[in-house]
């Protein structure tokens, strides 16, 4: 909302400048967006008088004028037909920037005659949207008067109102707060009741559900038409468009006192009554914006004998609107339910000044005051004879009094404010203070209890005055501030970054069909109001987003992506359905290198996953191949399991079908690790590590080559060998896998190096021989492996 | 009698001329081997009279020592030359690049999160968390957003479909629902704590993803917030001000960032405030701690009595404050990322440029950054 300093001064006796007002508003809780100063761009423009105007010697449509200006008498060329001797208008000197035409004036000959400035139209000055000829001003204005003064231009303060303070949507409400904050004195309310001279002939009916209270009055014999300059200026200064005096009065009061009103041409009302009720099925209203709206049973309408004629609290109707020829006017001041008005605005897609105010909550006790303020202005501007005021219905109950212990100000805010000052602040804000009982004013329905009063006192006293007091010391959590999950997220993040992956943060949502590709497009996870259709579904996995990110980078020429994300995935809409994943994606397009690197990048990825698991303190996991979900390459993917059920991670190459669907060039490798599936560390609390036993004896290395079925996973050979002698065997490593010549069809040779660590004495040849025998038989027993001859 | 000196000269000449270790060994065997010329001479000593031996002994032994020394010297020289040649042949072009290494990066938002955690942990805050998909009660009702209140509309909420009970889940619009979850947990434990004479202060921060249906240059449909909550018996706004002042100074790592508290409105706090920090916008980008402009960095306030009540806490006994930072935005302010949207665009060039090394883990002992 906008207002001007002069408008504020109608209500506040103050010498404050715009800057001081802005500062005081900010510190009272009114967020000023900006100050719009239309006069700034017109600083160089002044009033001038045309003394003489003659035909330009070389151009039919131009006139050469002698103009009395603040810079003396000047010759100025002008193309306006109304450039005539004696006209008082606006002069722009050489060097001035003309805002409406975007030109900076230069002393240049116009068809051979030098023009020493310019005479301006209202459009060129941006004081009107269109204009005909140059500005015509009253002759009473002296030459040299600034254009700003001539047009009565004023800075408009544009501010944002928080939803709890609808009273700030009226200038008087702002003045009240500023007065309490010490910026001046609130002037007495200028509105006095005007007695009616005849009974109100229009019957008013309300349906309390739709509209609790409705006040109205007929004023007959008015003379409508354009409102006077001061009123038009006031409205335009805050961005409102003047229409006619009767309508302008209602708009003025809406901004002045946050009291929206509506005026009807009484002679267009039918049936002798007006009522506020809920709409009916199939009922429609043609509103003042020219649109026709369906007003069903959820919407409050204003109706007369002809049916609905307006949308209550939102917008009046075309059929009963006041025009310049209106002679009898019916003034409505009602109170519409905020929630219903807000819903109506949303349902119909209408936002109006009235709707905005009613939705936030207008003072329920203001209808009669609003009628009286309108009466005063209408009689002043349009004459006429007012009827008595008629009120139907009952305003909602005013805020109830409650007990207030002034010591609570100190307790909650830390501010020391004397009791008398507390009472002064509250009283100035309109609260009734009676001993230990406080009653909020009717316009402060946001105030419910003592904490609200602390806010009132603290903000008016000034938040600058708040003390600064250190938090009391407390014991730090002995295990650190992080939960186990958060600790693991942090460790995972830094491990992955250390291993060369760049951390991405991608949306928690994705395209629904893509979510389906990763096993999740349950209807309960599809947003009803997504920001875009490709962000509609809570992701079952971050893989899709990372694939898309890698593809996007590739399209920009950066195909070699190694990305990871640590974040939530969703199985359902319950808190327990959310799980935390570390997801990594590798698009292996390493730059060419003079020393060619070899090897399947899938195993580099597996190495990164194993390193991450080790960093996270994961126990030994089982590699299970052939059971991965459908978005993995069936032959080049596996799971890491803890026992038969718990899948800790899946890794491998992504299925080309999925990459194609996501418009990504393969191959891409990935893993997805479920942090929540990792067991808690066994040893909590005590951090000592198991004792380290270092053998003084050299370890021995023995190589074995086994023939196994080609389908046997090498890992299945390693585990039994490890188990052949847990005390002596330190490590078993596969160092070669071979199939082909010398190896029978359907078989492969797997070469393993076994590291044997003697514990307390050197092993004899016989002992080594016996160990080898155990290794060979364990391998045979487990997977039918035969030692290769 | 062989001319010993002639022999010595001869042998020394040949030793010095030996081209390689093989040739040198051949000469050594020829001279000093079992039947070598010098060895044969040494054998003659046994047949000599003592007087002859007195004269010839030193000469022949001298010859042997001289030849042996010459062989050793030549051997050393040849070995050195051979090693030098070998090393020379092993020369590589060290202007060649090493194998390509990917530069891993921590996302700036996560780095900033770790920085914030470091500062708040130092002030005694622990971390709490809650789900991204929330119910209406935790996200709104319990936080004193009356049903259908305009404040709800201002949240641009993402909604999930109605369930069979007619309730709609939301994507949490702020991290504040975790206030409710934390206080509800406290309330469950409270009787036991009070019975044990324990004081139950809450001092938590809640980082996480939050969602609003909003998308333009300064808004993304997903962003990160960090909520703070302190509940005790006598926590007031002065403590709130201190906490935020401390945080700002330590986070921006400048001793005196001027800040101001401004009244504001949030349904779940009363009184409510926003804190601005002094900044300079004149150069196009925002510089914190200088200039004559203000930049809003955090919304905060005293927890509304209704919120305490909704969690089963008596507002006449318990009170405290809450605050909420935008983590991404703080990161942009500190590290100068110009556009919020880039945070979520996963451009590898951006991540490499604005991201952080794995080893720059923020902590309060070395400074945050």
B365 belongs to a structural domain: no
Residue A575: pLDDT over 60: yes
CA distance B54 to chain A (A): 57
Instruction: Kindly state the helix (H) or strand (E) to which residue B97 belongs, with its residue range.
Output: none
Q: How far apart are CA A204 and CA A273, in angstroms?
A: 6
Q: Judge if B169 and B232 occupy the same domain.
A: yes
Residue A779: pLDDT over 90: yes
Of B84, B117, B141, the domain-final residue: B84
Residues of B in contact with A481 (CB under 8 A): 117, 120-121, 125-127
Integer angstrom CA distances of residue A704 from A745, A782, A787: 20, 16, 7
Most confidently modeled range among A411-415, A590-594, B308-312 = A411-415
pLDDT of B217 reads 81
Residue A597's pLDDT band (cuts 50, 70, 90): low
Q: Which two tokens stand for residue A530?
A: 């997504």
Tell if the CB–CB gap between A485 and B129 is shorter than 8 Å. yes
Q: How far apart are CA A464 and CA B316, in angstroms?
A: 26
Residue A598's pLDDT band (cuts 50, 70, 90): low
Of B50, B84, B118, the domain-final residue: B84
Tell if the CB–CB gap between A590 and B344 is shorter than 8 Å. no
B362 belongs to a structural domain: no
Q: What does R_g of chain A's alpha carbons equal in angstroms?
A: 42
Q: Judge if B119 and B52 occupy the same domain.
A: no
Helices (runs of H) and strands (runs of E) counted in chain B: 12, 11
Q: Is the separation of the CB atoms in B125 and A471 below 8 Å?
A: no
Tell if the CB–CB gap between B150 and A549 is shorter than 8 Å. no
Q: Which residues contact A686 (CB under 8 A, 6 or more apart)?
A: none
Q: Which residues contact B199 (CB under 8 A, 6 or more apart)?
A: B193, B232, B233
Mean pLDDT across chain A, nearest whole number?
92
Across the interface, of B127, B243, B346, the residue whose CB is closest to A481 is B127
Mean pLDDT across chain B, nearest whole number?
90
Q: Judge if B192 and B328 occupy the same domain.
A: yes
CA distance A607 to chain B (A): 15
Over the stretch A499-556, which tens digit does the pLDDT of each residue have?
A: 999 999 999 999 999 999 999 889 999 999 999 989 999 999 999 999 999 999 999 9
B341 belongs to a structural domain: yes
Tell if the CB–CB gap between A470 and B242 is shorter than 8 Å. yes
Q: Judge if B349 and B275 occupy the same domain.
A: yes
CA distance A485 to chain B (A): 10
* Mean pLDDT across A387-400: 94
Residues of B in contact with A346 (CB under 8 A): 153
Q: What is the 3-state secondary structure (H, E, C) of A697-751?
A: CCCEEEEEEEEEECCCCHHHHHHHHHHHCCCCEEEEEEEEEECCCCCCCCEEEEE
Q: Judge if B277 and B345 occupy the same domain.
A: yes
Q: Is the separation of the CB atoms in B237 and B321 below 8 Å?
A: yes
Residue A284's pLDDT band (cuts 50, 70, 90): very high
B89 belongs to a structural domain: no
Chain B: residue whose CA lies nearest to A455: B271
Residues of B in contact with A501 (CB under 8 A): 102, 104
Over the stretch A96-137, which tens digit does the pLDDT of each residue have?
A: 999 888 889 988 888 888 889 999 998 888 877 777 889 888
Q: Judge if B118 and B175 occupy the same domain.
A: yes
Q: Judge if B191 and B328 occupy the same domain.
A: yes
Tell whether the torsion through CA atoms of A457, A463, A466 and A472 is positive or negative: positive
Across the interface, of A338, A475, A573, the residue whose CB is closest to B160 is A573
Give the largest CA-CA distance in chain A. 131
Q: What does R_g of chain B's alpha carbons equal in angstroms?
A: 42
pLDDT of B2 reads 58
The model's pTM: 0.87
Per-position b or e across B58-79, b if 16+ CB within 10 A of its CB: eebeebbeebeebbeebbeebe
Look-up of token digits 């020429």: A557
DSSP single-letter state for residue A536 = -
CA dihedral A109, A115, A120, A121 (to 10 degrees): -50
Residues of B in contact with A448 (CB under 8 A): 306
B306 belongs to a structural domain: yes
Q: Judge if B68 and B187 occupy the same domain.
A: no
Across the interface, of A412, A560, A597, the residue whose CB is closest to B236 is A412
Over the stretch B302-348, which tens digit does the pLDDT of each residue have?
A: 999 999 999 888 999 999 999 999 999 999 999 989 899 999 999 99
Integer angstrom CA distances of residue B125 from A312, B55, B193, B329: 51, 99, 19, 21
pLDDT of B354 reads 97
Closest CA to A529 of A509, A549, A501: A509
Residue B155's pLDDT band (cuts 50, 70, 90): confident
Residue A247: pLDDT over 70: yes
Residue B200's pLDDT band (cuts 50, 70, 90): low
Q: In a 3-state reduction of DSSP, which class is residue A571?
A: coil
Residue A149: pLDDT over 90: no
Tell me phi and psi for residue A221, to 5 degrees: 75, 30
Integer angstrom CA distances of residue A586 from A341, A496, A660, B102, B342: 54, 12, 16, 11, 21
Q: Is the separation of the CB atoms in A569 and A579 below 8 Å?
A: yes
* Mean pLDDT across A761-789: 91
Across the interface, of B110, B130, B238, the residue whose CB is closest to A469 is B238
For the question of an ipTM over 0.90, the answer is: no
Tell if the CB–CB gap between A459 and B271 is shorter than 8 Å. yes
Q: Is the separation of the CB atoms in B205 and A486 below 8 Å?
A: no
B192 belongs to a structural domain: yes
Q: Judge if B228 and B317 occupy the same domain.
A: yes
Q: How far apart are CA A683 and CA A691, in angstroms?
A: 15
pLDDT of A206 reads 94
pLDDT of B197 reads 63
Over the stretch A610-661, which tens digit does the pLDDT of each residue have?
A: 999 999 999 999 999 989 999 999 999 999 999 899 999 999 999 999 999 9
B276 belongs to a structural domain: yes
pLDDT of B186 reads 81
Tell if the CB–CB gap between B124 and A476 is shorter than 8 Å. yes
Q: How far apart are CA A65 and CA A83, in angstroms?
A: 8
Over the stretch A181-208, which tens digit does the pLDDT of each residue have?
A: 999 999 999 999 999 999 999 999 998 8
Q: Judge if B137 and B276 occupy the same domain.
A: yes
Tell if the CB–CB gap between B302 and A578 is shorter than 8 Å. no
Closest CA to A584 of A512, A652, A484: A652
Chain A: residue whose CA lies nearest to B108: A503
Count of structural domains within chain B = 2
pLDDT of A314 reads 95
Residue B215's pLDDT band (cuts 50, 70, 90): confident
Of B84, B100, B124, the domain-final residue: B84
CATH number at residue B134: 3.30.930.10
Q: Which domain holds residue B17?
A: 4-84
Residue B149: pLDDT over 80: no
Residue A580: pLDDT over 90: yes
Look-up of token digits 């934390």: B182
Name the β-bridge partners of A747. A709
Across the interface, of B117, B261, B270, the residue whose CB is closest to A481 is B117
Tell if the CB–CB gap between A502 and B344 is shorter than 8 Å. no
Over the stretch B351-367, which tens digit does the pLDDT of each residue have?
A: 999 999 999 999 888 88
Residues of A in contact with B151 (CB under 8 A): 163
Q: How far apart are CA A772 and CA A778, in angstroms?
A: 10
CA distance B91 to chain A (A): 16
Q: Which two tokens stand for residue A669?
A: 């490798």
Across the interface, of B101, B104, B127, the residue whose CB is closest to A501 is B104
Name the β-bridge partners of A638. A625, A651
B91 belongs to a structural domain: no
Per-position b or e across B163-186, b if 16+ CB within 10 A of its CB: eeeeeebbbbbbbbbbbbbbbeeb
Q: Judge if B145 and B257 occupy the same domain.
A: yes
Q: Which two tokens stand for residue A105?
A: 């004036």
Q: Helix crossing, A171-180 with A245-257: angle to 10°?
A: 30
DSSP single-letter state for residue A146 = B
Residue A223's pLDDT band (cuts 50, 70, 90): very high
Q: Judge if B283 and B160 occupy the same domain.
A: yes
Instruction: Kindly state the helix (H) or strand (E) to which residue A540 belongs, with its residue range.
Output: none
């Amino acid at each position: 909302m906008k207002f001007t300093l002069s408008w504020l001064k109608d209500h506040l006796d103050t010498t404050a400048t715009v800057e001081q007002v802005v500062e005081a508003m900010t510190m009272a809780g009114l967020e000023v967006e900006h100050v719009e100063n239309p006069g700034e761009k017109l600083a160089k423009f002044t009033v001038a008088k045309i003394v003489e105007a003659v035909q330009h010697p070389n151009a039919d449509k131009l006139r050469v004028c002698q103009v009395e200006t603040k810079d003396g008498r000047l010759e100025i060329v002008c193309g306006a037909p109304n450039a005539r001797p004696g006209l008082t208008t606006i002069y722009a000197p050489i060097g001035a920037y003309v805002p409406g035409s975007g030109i900076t004036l230069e002393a240049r000959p116009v068809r051979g005659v030098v023009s020493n400035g310019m005479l301006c139209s209202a459009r060129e000055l941006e004081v009107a949207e269109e204009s005909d000829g140059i500005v015509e001003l009253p002759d009473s204005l002296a030459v040299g008067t600034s254009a700003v003064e001539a047009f009565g231009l004023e800075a408009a303060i544009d501010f944002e109102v928080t939803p709890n303070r609808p009273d700030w949507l009226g200038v008087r409400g702002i003045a009240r707060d500023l007065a309490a904050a010490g910026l001046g004195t609130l002037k007495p309310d200028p509105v006095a009741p005007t007695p009616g001279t005849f009974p109100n002939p229009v019957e008013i009916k309300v349906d309390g559900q739709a509209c609790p209270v409705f006040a109205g009055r007929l004023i007959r014999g008015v003379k409508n038409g354009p409102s006077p300059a001061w009123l038009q200026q006031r409205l335009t200064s805050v961005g409102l468009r003047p229409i006619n005096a009767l309508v302008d009065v209602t708009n003025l009061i809406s901004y002045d006192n946050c009291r929206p009103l509506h005026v009807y041409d009484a002679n267009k009302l039918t049936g002798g009554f007006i009522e506020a009720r809920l709409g009916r099925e199939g009922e429609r209203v043609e509103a003042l914006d020219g649109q026709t709206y369906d007003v069903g049973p959820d919407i409050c309408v204003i109706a007369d004998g002809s049916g609905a004629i307006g949308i209550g609290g939102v917008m009046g109707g075309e059929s009963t609107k006041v025009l310049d020829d209106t002679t009898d006017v019916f003034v409505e001041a009602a109170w519409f339910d905020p929630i219903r008005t807000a819903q109506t605005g949303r349902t119909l897609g209408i936002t109006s000044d009235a709707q905005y105010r009613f939705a936030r909550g207008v003072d329920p006790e203001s209808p009669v005051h609003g009628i009286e303020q309108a009466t005063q202005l209408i009689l002043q501007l349009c004459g006429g004879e007012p009827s008595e005021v008629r009120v139907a219905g009952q305003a909602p109950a005013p805020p109830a009094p409650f007990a207030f212990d002034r010591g609570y100000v100190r307790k909650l805010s830390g501010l020391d404010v004397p009791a008398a000052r507390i009472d002064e602040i509250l009283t100035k804000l309109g609260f009734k203070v009676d001993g230990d009982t406080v009653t909020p004013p009717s316009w402060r329905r946001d105030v419910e209890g003592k904490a609200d009063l602390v806010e009132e006192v603290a903000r008016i006293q000034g938040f600058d005055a708040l003390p600064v007091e250190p938090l009391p010391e407390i014991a730090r959590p002995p295990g650190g501030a992080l939960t186990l999950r958060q600790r693991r997220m942090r460790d995972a993040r830094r491990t992955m970054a250390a291993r060369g992956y760049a951390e991405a943060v991608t949306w928690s949502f994705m395209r629904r069909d893509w979510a389906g590709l990763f096993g999740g497009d349950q209807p309960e996870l599809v947003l009803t109001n997504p920001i875009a259709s490709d962000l509609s579904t809570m992701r079952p996995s971050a893989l899709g987003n990372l694939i898309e990110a890698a593809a996007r980078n590739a399209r920009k020429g950066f195909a070699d992506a190694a990305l990871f994300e640590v974040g939530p995935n969703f199985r359902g809409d319950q808190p327990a359905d959310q799980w935390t994943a570390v997801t990594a994606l590798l698009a292996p397009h390493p730059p060419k290198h003079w020393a060619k690197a070899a090897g399947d990048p899938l195993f580099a990825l597996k190495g990164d996953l194993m390193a991450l698991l080790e960093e996270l303190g994961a126990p030994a996991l089982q590699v299970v191949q052939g059971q991965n979900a459908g978005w993995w390459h069936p032959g080049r993917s596996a799971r890491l399991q803890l026992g038969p059920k718990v899948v800790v991670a899946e890794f491998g190459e992504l299925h080309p079908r999925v990459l194609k669907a996501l418009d990504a060039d393969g191959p891409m490798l990935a893993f997805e690790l479920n942090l929540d599936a990792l067991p808690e560390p066994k040893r909590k609390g005590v951090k000592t590590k198991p004792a380290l036993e270092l053998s003084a004896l050299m370890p021995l290395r023995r190589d074995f080559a086994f023939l196994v079925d080609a389908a046997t996973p090498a890992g299945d050979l390693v585990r039994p060998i490890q188990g052949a002698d847990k005390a002596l065997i330190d490590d078993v490593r596969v160092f070669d896998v071979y199939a082909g010549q010398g190896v029978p069809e359907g078989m492969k040779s797997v070469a393993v190096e076994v590291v044997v660590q003697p514990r307390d004495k050197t092993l004899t040849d016989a002992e080594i021989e016996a160990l080898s025998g155990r290794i060979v038989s364990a391998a045979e027993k487990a997977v039918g492996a035969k030692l290769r001859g | 009698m062989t001319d010993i000196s002639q022999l010595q000269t001869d042998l020394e000449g040949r030793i010095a001329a030996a081209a390689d270790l093989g040739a040198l060994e051949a000469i050594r065997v020829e001279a000093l081997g079992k039947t070598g010329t010098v060895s044969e001479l040494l054998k003659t000593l046994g047949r000599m009279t003592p007087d002859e031996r007195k004269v010839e002994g030193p000469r022949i032994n001298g010859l042997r020592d001289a030849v042996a020394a010459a062989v050793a010297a030549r051997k050393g020289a040849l070995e050195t030359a051979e090693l030098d040649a070998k090393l020379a042949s092993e020369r590589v072009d060290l202007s060649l690049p090493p194998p390509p290494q990917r530069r891993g990066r921590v996302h700036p938002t996560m780095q900033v999160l770790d920085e914030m955690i470091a500062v708040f942990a130092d002030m005694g805050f622990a971390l709490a968390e809650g789900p991204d998909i929330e119910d209406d009660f935790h996200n709104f009702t319990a936080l004193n957003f009356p049903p259908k209140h305009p404040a709800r509309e201002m949240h641009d909420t993402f909604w999930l479909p109605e369930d069979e009970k007619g309730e709609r889940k939301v994507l949490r619009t702020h991290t504040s629902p975790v206030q409710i979850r934390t206080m509800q947990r406290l309330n469950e434990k409270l009787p036991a704590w009070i019975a044990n004479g324990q004081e139950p202060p809450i001092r938590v921060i809640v980082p996480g993803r939050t969602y609003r249906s909003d998308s333009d240059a300064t808004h993304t449909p997903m962003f990160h917030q960090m909520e703070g909550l302190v509940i005790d018996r006598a926590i007031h706004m002065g403590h709130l001000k201190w906490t935020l002042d401390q945080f700002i100074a330590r986070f921006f790592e400048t001793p005196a960032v001027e800040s101001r508290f401004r009244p504001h409105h949030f349904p779940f706090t009363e009184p409510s405030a926003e804190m601005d920090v002094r900044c300079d916008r004149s150069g196009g980008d925002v510089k914190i701690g200088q200039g004559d402009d203000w930049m809003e960095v955090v919304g905060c306030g005293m927890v509304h009595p209704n919120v305490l009540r909704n969690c089963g806490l008596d507002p006449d006994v318990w009170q405290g404050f809450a605050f909420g930072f935008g983590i991404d935005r703080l990161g942009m302010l500190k590290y100068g990322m110009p556009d919020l949207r880039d945070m979520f665009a996963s451009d590898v060039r951006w991540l490499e440029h604005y991201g952080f090394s794995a080893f720059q883990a923020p902590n309060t002992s070395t400074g945050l950054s």
